[in-house]
Structure 1
């Protein structure tokens, strides 16, 4: 196999494409030649209208709308990247998580992917080729009890679901993979580090160190950049990774210890 990495001619749906890793992934896929459709609740002004569909993927109706848009605008998808994820749960540990908060975490981090896969993967199977990438998190292995129990649990469920889907559809030509980032230096992460720095009376680098210490340390000494996560996703989605399926690829600067 020769030549540069390319996604030329591929039709890709990337969720959560207006922030952080999603923005970087949309930009890289377009640079590599893919026809891209992305989605979020609202479109930022700098994102072309023709590649965007407004929808709330935490709802079944929103997922249906995006799947219909993918079929209507692109005739289906060859690559489906689930970047969407996050948490709005309050701190305070397990007792602070009401049924409503648990449902939000599951809708946001698990069921959005399940619903879109159910709508679009059959088309991949029918054409005998496709790639699904679920962005999970190292939190499924290293939850923070005070703040990420719901998020981490939903990501753990997403990882298990992804592995099962891979076993089912890989014989039909559809590869299913997981990308598990650690701490990513997104806009939201920068704001969080700045808040911590202000509270601790230190600078931004000091705020970053506070976060890294809470994670048990990052041997690489820094968080990942969104573009680095996007590069891994693009490689896995490309034909250069055509024999890889069912696996999880951790990109965390060495945060997760191994036995």
Structure 2
């Protein structure tokens, strides 16, 4: 019986694939038959060196090093998943954000995708096929002014860039898509819930509810699991989604309250 979903023989690059949703995506892609290369600043001992490139993708030169490694080790790439993202900006609203914080958010959440696409997508266009998935965030539509203004703006820029790239390369056989998660229950987010619980002298479950309330609630009553987001990404990267291009898929448990 032919499996419903396969990535057999596909060559894939997944950035930030050593933990959380990135690690779940790498694991699922490999399970589905893909040859996967991933990257982060440091390699965990559990990950084989042959499947990993150490790189700080906020640096332009490291993006070029990674692109060269993709060509050398995989012979090119069929799927790119831009998973890298995050925020370390301080709370305090817009006035707390100086130029350094703005540059940091853009260098982490926008420019790695721009640089890697510029290096790798032309080869996809030349071959006439491939899939590029930019992982954005519902924060681009639902920013939290106290803490995520710069991050949300950077993700909004990523989304607009992604749409423009899709309009350019889709007629040449390369599909470009966006996946926008809400709150994902990763190690980091559980750690945040634990810190909130300790600060407010409540249980960890109550700490999780505090996070959900800050987002305006999650109607299904829980965050997404990394494996659930990875499953959506795998489907979109597969030939099952062969006519899907240029669109955005929100996976947030119903958090965004608009159509």
Q: TM-score, normalised by structure 1?
A: 0.99
Shift of 1:38: 0.2
Partner of 2:35: 35
- Distance (whole Å) between structure 1 residues aligned to residue 218 and residue 154 of structure 2: 23
How far apart in 2 are the matches of 1:62 and 1:104?
Answer: 16
Distance 2:53 2:73 in 1: 10
Tell me the alpha carbon deviations over residues 169-196 of structure 1, each in whole angstroms, 9 at most, x when there is no partner. Answer: 0000000000000000000000000000
CA drift at 1:242: 0.1
Q: Distance in 2 between matches of 1:61 and 1:18?
A: 21
Query: How far off is 1:201 after superposition?
Result: 1.1
Match of 2:164 in 1: 164
Separation of aligned partners in 1, 2:97 and 2:215: 22
1:136 aligns with 2:170: no
- Which string of whole-angstrom CA distances, capped at 9 and with x for unpartnered residues, describes residues 47-105 of structure 1? 11110000000010110010000001011100000000001111111111111110010
TM normalised by structure 2 equals 0.99
Distance 1:3 1:244 in 2: 20
Match of 2:174 in 1: 174
Does 1:63 pair with 2:58? no
Aligned positions, number: 259
What displacement does 1:4 show?
2.3
Partner-residue secondary structure (3-state), 1:23: helix
- Is it true that 1:236 corresponds to 2:236 in the alignment? yes
User: Separation in 1 of the partners of 2:65 and 2:152?
Assistant: 27
Within 2, Cα distance between the matches of 1:209 and 1:171? 45
> What are the Cα deviations for residues 14-47 of structure 1, in whole angstroms up to 9, with x where unaligned?
0000121000000000000000000000000001
In the TM superposition, residue 3 of structure 1 has moved relative to its aligned partner by 3.1
Residue of structure 1 equivalent to 2:24: 24
C-alpha distance in 1 between matches for 2:64 and 2:94: 32
Whole-Å Cα distance in 2 between the matches of residues 87 and 34 of structure 1? 30
Structure 2 gaps of 5+ residues are none
User: Equivalent residue for 1:87?
Assistant: 87
Cα distance in 2 for residues equivalent to 1:71 and 1:57: 17
Alpha-carbon deviation of 1:13? 0.3
Could you tell me how far apart the structure 2 residues matched to 1:86 and 1:45 are?
23
Alpha-carbon RMSD across the aligned residues, in angstroms, is 1.0
